[in-house]
């Protein structure tokens, strides 16, 4: 009896796994993405193809900044990815707002700072606001 129940559970789990993999679809808006490697941080991030021409990336020694490019070529901060030492973090953490630590390993802290919606200004603020959901997806895609 016990083997029959175990076999039934196994078959049910297998059929569920097959059903999920057959019906799996990419998240809307992320069907066509490019994986961008940030060599300065030894990380990569997915950027939707539709946004690539609208996003400007600036790379520094321990930070990459992603900004929205307005029609007049001015930029609006969207998010940044930074790496700092534990000692640097202790000095910075009270000055940084709207951040998420994505890794704390070997005394090196990697964090993402995201633009706050209320601080977005300028003629393209509505477009920036609509991009923020995709920005969240980009942030979630950050990996080694």
State pLDDT tens for residues 39-67: 778 888 888 888 888 889 899 989 999 99
Residue 49 belongs to some domain of the structure: yes
Q: Which of 10-19, 52-61, 68-77 has the highest mean pLDDT?
A: 52-61
What tokens appear for 2 in the block? 């016990």
Whole-prediction pTM: 0.70
Residue 1 belongs to some domain of the structure: no
What are the backbone dihedrals phi and psi of residue 83, each rounded to the nearest 5 degrees, phi first?
Answer: -125, 130
What is the total count of domains within the chain? 1
- The predicted-structure confidence for 79-110, as pLDDT tens digits, reads as follows 999 999 999 999 999 999 999 999 999 999 99
Residue 75 belongs to some domain of the structure: yes
d(CA 8, CA 128): 51
Average pLDDT over all residues of the chain: 75
Cα-Cα-Cα-Cα dihedral sign, residues 59, 68, 47, 112: positive
What tokens appear for 109 in the block? 């802290």
Residue 56 belongs to some domain of the structure: yes
User: What domain range includes position 51?
Assistant: 29-140
| Residue 21 region by backbone torsions, left for phi larger than 0, else alpha for psi between -120 and 50, else beta | alpha
Residue 18 belongs to some domain of the structure: no
Task: Tell the residue number behind the tokens 């600036």, with chain if given.
Answer: 58
């Amino acid at each position: 009896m016990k083997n029959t129940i175990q076999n039934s559970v196994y078959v049910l789990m297998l059929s569920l796994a097959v059903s999920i993999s057959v019906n799996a679809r990419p998240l809307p808006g992320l069907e066509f993405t490019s994986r961008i490697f940030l060599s300065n941080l030894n990380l990569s991030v997915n950027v939707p193809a539709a946004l690539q021409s609208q996003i400007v990336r600036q790379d520094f020694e321990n930070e990459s900044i992603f900004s929205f490019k307005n029609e007049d070529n001015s930029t609006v901060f969207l998010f940044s990815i930074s790496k700092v030492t534990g000692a640097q973090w202790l000095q910075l953490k009270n000055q940084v707002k709207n951040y998420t630590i994505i890794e704390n390993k070997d005394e090196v802290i990697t964090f993402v700072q995201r633009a706050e919606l209320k601080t977005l200004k300028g003629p393209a603020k509505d477009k920036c606001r609509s991009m923020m959901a995709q920005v969240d997806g980009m942030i979630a895609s950050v990996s080694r």
